[in-house]
Structure 1
């Protein structure tokens, strides 16, 4: 579950923390009222995780990293494909007047794109996060319908929690390696 470089673990904590806060925010579109304080707490904890990851990554910026010219280029291609596929799907869902499915679509694309990222970075923890985000994306619609909730609340909370735990785990890995 551990990456070779402190900087890579710290930056992963930053990225996961930042995006966890975004997912907790998306969940606040129309959640059950009792979820509001949990979602706000998740957003705050996610941002604190991102800040700690950014600070630790900055302190170790000159240390080793898995990124080189080839890795950086491949990473950029994977992320570019992710953004393109997510945008195309959201656009198609808007045309079909199925915007409520945008959040699970984006979560599915995020989960699937994390598999090649995990392999590229040689960071097994990211495989776990990828699998869990993908499961959340697939399960969100039936769970939301069965419980008469908005899909964005279910997928936002689930994806936010997975990314936050992944971010906190990466931060702990970076701190223990430090």
Structure 2
């Protein structure tokens, strides 16, 4: 296997790991009654298993990728993620201060969706564009649903974001396994 294949496999494993963990967290956001609660727990478990499988791929491909790390890309990735966390934290604090805390999941989902766009060239994964767009659409759907009905934004956003991130984590895992 070439160094590029190892790198690609390692990166896909990282994607499965990170997105699987993130999907697990999103599935825990909504407060739901049965039977939806049971489905969210199953989704969370599936996301966690995907993350564990991604971690195994990363561990098995680590030796070949250590020498091939791109420090500039690592710095860009860190800056993008730091900006994402800062925007989400500041926005969440502001929403909490003005008494709109029920919309915090909407804001965080939109920020997460937007952060995927600058990550496309850094991670060389064009599938992050549709993921980012879909995450932003879920945020909008959560906002509209909460404003127009009695359904909480967190329920819509947590379920939708969890499903999207789990789907992309599984795709990343399949790419990693296909690169054997």
Indicate the residue corresponding to 1:47 in structure 2. Answer: 48
Query: TM-score normalized by structure 2?
Result: 0.91
Q: CA deviation at 1:62?
A: 2.3
State the superposition RMSD in angstroms.
Answer: 1.7
8 Å CA contact retained: 1:14, 1:54: yes
Query: TM-score normalized by structure 1?
Result: 0.92
Once the two structures are superposed, the pairs formed by residues 15-164 of structure 1 within 5 Å of their partners are 15-27=18-30, 30-64=31-65, 67-164=69-166
Q: 1:9 pairs with 6, 12, 15, which one?
A: 12
Q: CA deviation at 1:132?
A: 1.0
Structure 1 residues 83 and 117: CA distance shift in structure 2, 3 A: same
Structure 1: gaps (5+ residues)? none
Distance 2:130 2:58 in 1: 22
8 Å CA contact retained: 1:24, 1:156: yes
8 Å CA contact retained: 1:31, 1:149: no
Structure 2: gaps (5+ residues)? 1-6
Which structure is larger by alpha-carbon Rg, 1 or 2?
2
| 103-112 vs 62-71, greater mean Cα deviation | 62-71
Aligned residue pairs, count: 174
8 Å CA contact retained: 2:142, 2:152: no
